[in-house]
């Protein structure tokens, strides 16, 4: 991290080096301070040192930052955790991250056997398996059914209104990220099977299913389902419906198994309706940046970008035109956001690979590379704008390099 390491700062705290009582000038010299040569000064407290350690580019903004930009970062660690008999869930929507009007995200854990009950949404649902294994089921409007098992790096997509379920498999269930194509999404607004049954007269249920009304005397309360325990299912064939017609194009894509775009600084895997036809409202890229590397300077010409950080630490600088720019720091479990068309980069500031998802409310992925744009523009124009010398002009690349190395 910038200027100091998290570990060193935390050790200073644990050794009793925290800010002394109010009025004292004796505080640990190696704690992060809001100062640079000729500006700022020490902060004797009160303060949240953990937050300052996590956000060095907010405590000491790069001198290139200017103007005002809204907050473009929120951590799932700050989202309320709802716990159920067979797992937990937490969400980040526009209520938590105000700028995120187009996309909302949910982090969900299902223990082994844990079931996210049969349900559907007004919004389309895109998901990425972060850990473990899951079985998903669905039925489309034509009465075709779908059952499949997923593992880390796999994704699913259910169009709006498609009824589905998810169950954690052995040995330890699963954790996955859900992405919805509406920033106003609320997981409590889900259409739940048990909730509907409780709000239909038994006589109507009896007429609909052709059984006695007493068949519905023992319906569970909706609060008893949502995420609940069932036995771990058998092999995949045991859940196939005999004689049923399968969904022709499927709802699952093995994103992690895609052949990546490889560059000097890392890899990118792009999944949208071109290679996952059912995914009409969410496009995504899985990006891995090696230590010292960077997601190149670029922007997206079609829509906003919603990010989820899976591994490592990094920082993102965002340019909003009119002299406004701001830098944010990220770690695993954080969400980032880039409004439509704003230029940005994402730099690995750690010693391990930085892995994150870029998602978009769109049927296709699109980005514009600053380097490629300049390389494909008449050189006299570029040099005249930027006073580039011969070496800088010759270094421009006509082929897009989505991730560049630190060399």
Does the annotation list 253 as a binding residue? no
CA-CA distance, 154 to 169, in Å (whole number)? 15
Does the annotation list 344 as a binding residue? yes
Does the annotation list 121 as a binding residue? yes
Does the annotation list 119 as a binding residue? yes
Write the secondary structure of 338-358 as one string of H (helix), E (strand) and C (coil): ECCCCEEEEEECCCCCEEEEE
Write the secondary structure of 297-319 as one string of H (helix), E (strand) and C (coil): EEECCCCCEEEEEEECEEEEEEE
CA-CA distance, 399 to 376, in Å (whole number)? 9
Does the annotation list 199 as a binding residue? no
| 8 Å CB contact between 357 and 334 | no
Does the annotation list 288 as a binding residue? no
Task: Please tell me which residue in 123, 142, 358, 394 is annotated as part of the active site.
Answer: 358
Does the annotation list 298 as a binding residue? yes
Does the annotation count 358 as an active-site position? yes
Task: Give the tokens for residue 93.
Answer: 């929507």
Residues 6 or more apart in contact with residue 304 via CB below 8 angstroms: 100, 101, 102, 103, 337, 338, 339, 340, 360, 361
| 8 Å CB contact between 72 and 318 | yes
CA-CA distance, 211 to 197, in Å (whole number)? 14
* Distance from the Cα of residue 312 to its chain's centroid: 14
Annotated binding site: 119, 121, 125, 164, 298, 300, 305, 344
Annotated binding site for Mn(2+): 119, 121, 125, 164, 298, 300, 305, 344
Tell me the catalytic residues. Answer: 358
């Amino acid at each position: 991290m910038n200027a100091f390491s998290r570990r060193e700062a935390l050790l200073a705290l644990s050794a009793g080096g925290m800010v002394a009582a109010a009025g004292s000038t004796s505080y640990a010299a190696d704690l992060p301070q809001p100062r640079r040569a000729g500006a700022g000064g020490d902060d004797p407290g009160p303060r949240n040192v953990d937050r300052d350690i996590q956000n060095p580019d907010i405590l000491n903004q790069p001198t290139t930052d200017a103007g005002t930009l809204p907050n473009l970062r929120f951590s799932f660690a700050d989202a309320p955790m709802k716990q159920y008999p067979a797992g937990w869930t937490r969400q980040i929507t526009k209520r938590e991250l105000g700028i995120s009007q187009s996309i909302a995200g949910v982090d969900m854990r299902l223990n082994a056997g844990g079931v996210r009950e049969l349900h559907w949404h007004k919004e389309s649902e895109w998901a990425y398996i972060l850990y473990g294994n899951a079985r998903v089921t669905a039925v489309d409007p034509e009465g075709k059914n779908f059952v499949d098992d997923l593992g880390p790096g796999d994704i699913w997509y259910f169009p709006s209104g498609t009824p589905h379920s998810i169950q954690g498999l052995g040995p330890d269930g699963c954790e996955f990220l859900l992405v919805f194509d509406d920033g106003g999404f609320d997981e409590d607004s889900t259409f739940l099977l048990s909730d509907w049954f409780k709000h239909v007269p038994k006589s109507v249920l009896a007429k609909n299913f052709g059984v006695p009304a007493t068949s519905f005397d023992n319906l569970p309360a909706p609060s008893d389902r949502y995420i609940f325990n069932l036995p771990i299912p058998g092999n995949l064939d045991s859940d196939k419906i005999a004689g049923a017609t399968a969904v022709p194009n499927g709802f699952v894509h093995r994103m992690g198994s895609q052949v990546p775009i490889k560059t000097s600084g890392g890899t990118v895997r792009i999944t949208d309706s071109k290679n996952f036809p059912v995914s009409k409202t969410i496009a995504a890229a899985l990006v891995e940046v090696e230590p010292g590397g960077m997601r190149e300077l670029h922007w997206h010409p079609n829509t906003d970008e919603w990010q989820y950080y899976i591994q490592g630490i990094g920082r993102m600088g965002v340019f909003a035109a009119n002299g406004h720019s701001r830098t944010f720091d990220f770690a695993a479990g954080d969400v980032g956001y880039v409004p439509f068309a704003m230029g940005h980069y994402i730099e690995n500031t750690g010693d391990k690979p930085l892995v994150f998802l870029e998602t978009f409310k769109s049927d296709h992925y699109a980005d514009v590379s600053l380097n490629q744009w300049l390389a494909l523009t008449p050189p006299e124009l570029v040099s005249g704008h930027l006073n580039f010398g011969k070496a800088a002009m010759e270094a421009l690349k006509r082929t897009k390099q989505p991730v560049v190395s630190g060399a």
